[in-house]
């Protein structure tokens, strides 16, 4: 992680703790960084970018040559995120695409070995399905807010835990959970 990216995350941490903005945050961020260091994905997709917190955290943790494509439906937020990503020195490896992920994801090309799902909770399974055929063996799929929105993500959890294609486990942070699924080899 570069100094510029860390500086940007610390700045955002201060802002979100004062304003309760729904970013992935420090605690889940630490787990995410550990997972990224372990799996070293090279081609990532993020669904739901807000102003770029998780994009900077993930983009800054990818190995050399890694790329992250972020999909954000709100044009203002997408622009804001792109500026923050640039400011964090990650403009070369993190790209923000504006649009509804349900329309954008099927148009993206190439294999994917990291997927972060953090947009409309009822659509988690549809986001995953839109990328699923392009997930490599060993790919890491992370779904945020699966504790707070347990009912909305029920179908998603049943899919990753029950269809045999993933090794899936829940990280419980007390007030919320994050589901981490790895595509079986």
Ligand X SMILES: C[S@@+](CC[C@H](N)C(=O)[O-])C[C@H]1O[C@@H](n2cnc3c(N)ncnc32)[C@H](O)[C@@H]1O
Would you tell me which residues interact with ligand X (CB under 6 A)? 22-24, 48-50, 53-54, 71-74, 77, 100-102, 118-120
Sign of CA dihedral 92, 25, 51, 110: positive
Length of the chain measured in residues = 185
**Residue matched to tokens 């400011």:** 87
CB of 54 to ligand X, least distance (A): 3
CB of 39 to ligand X, least distance (A): 19
Q: Which is nearer to ligand X, 44 or 48 (CB)?
A: 48
CB of 153 to ligand X, least distance (A): 13
Q: Which is nearer to ligand X, 165 or 171 (CB)?
A: 171
Cα separation, 25 vs 103, whole angstroms: 27
CB of 176 to ligand X, least distance (A): 11
Read out DSSP for 82-134? HHHHHHTT-TTTEEEEES-HHHHGGG--S-EEEEEE-S-GGGHHHHHHHHHTT
Q: Which is nearer to ligand X, 22 or 91 (CB)?
A: 22
Q: Which is nearer to ligand X, 73 or 146 (CB)?
A: 73
Q: Which is nearer to ligand X, 26 or 165 (CB)?
A: 26
CB of 169 to ligand X, least distance (A): 20
Cα separation, 49 vs 131, whole angstroms: 17
Cα separation, 112 vs 43, whole angstroms: 5
């Amino acid at each position: 992680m570069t100094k510029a990216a860390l500086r940007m995350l610390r700045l955002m941490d201060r802002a979100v703790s004062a304003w309760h903005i729904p970013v992935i945050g420090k605690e889940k961020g630490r787990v995410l960084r550990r997972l990224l260091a372990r799996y070293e994905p090279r081609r990532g997709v993020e669904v739901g970018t807000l102003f770029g917190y998780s994009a900077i955290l993930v983009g800054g943790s990818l190995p050399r040559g890694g790329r992250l494509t972020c999909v954000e439906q709100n044009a203002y937020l997408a622009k804001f995120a792109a500026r923050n990503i640039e400011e964090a020195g990650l403009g070369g490896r993190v790209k923000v695409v504006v649009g509804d992920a349900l329309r954008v994801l099927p148009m993206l090309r190439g294999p994917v070995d990291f997927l972060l799902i953090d947009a409309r909770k009822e659509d988690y399974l549809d986001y995953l399905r839109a990328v699923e055929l392009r997930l490599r063996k060993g790919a890491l799929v992370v779904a945020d807010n699966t504790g707070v929105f347990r009912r909305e993500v029920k179908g998603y959890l049943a899919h990753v835990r029950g269809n045999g294609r993933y090794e899936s486990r829940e990280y419980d942070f007390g007030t919320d959970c994050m589901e981490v699924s790895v595509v079986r080899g």
